Amino acid sequence: MGEYQESNGLYGIIGLNDSHARNLIEAVQASFQVSADAARVRLSKLGILGETGGGASLFGR
């Protein structure tokens, strides 16, 4: 997950309705063969996904 976040300039919590959240959920589903709900819960518990996103990096790319 860290590689995805870094390559897309994502820092902090990613909002649940963000396209990046959907991509991460799909990646976890494929990697661990779990449901979308299970992937979302795991990513939320790990502090990767949240209700609102943290936004882009202050340092830009």
In which domain, by residue range, is 10 found? 2-50
Q: Is the pLDDT of residue 11 over 50?
A: yes
Q: How many domains does the chain have?
A: 1
Within a domain: 46:
yes
pLDDT value at residue 55: 56
- Mean residue pLDDT of the chain comes to 87
Within a domain: 61:
no
Lowest mean pLDDT of 2-6, 27-31, 34-38, 55-59, name the range. 55-59
DSSP string for 14-53: EETTSHHHHHHHHHHHHHHT--HHHHHHHHHHTTSEESS-
pLDDT value at residue 61: 47
Q: How far is CA 55 from the centre of its chain?
A: 12
Within a domain: 57:
no
pLDDT value at residue 14: 94
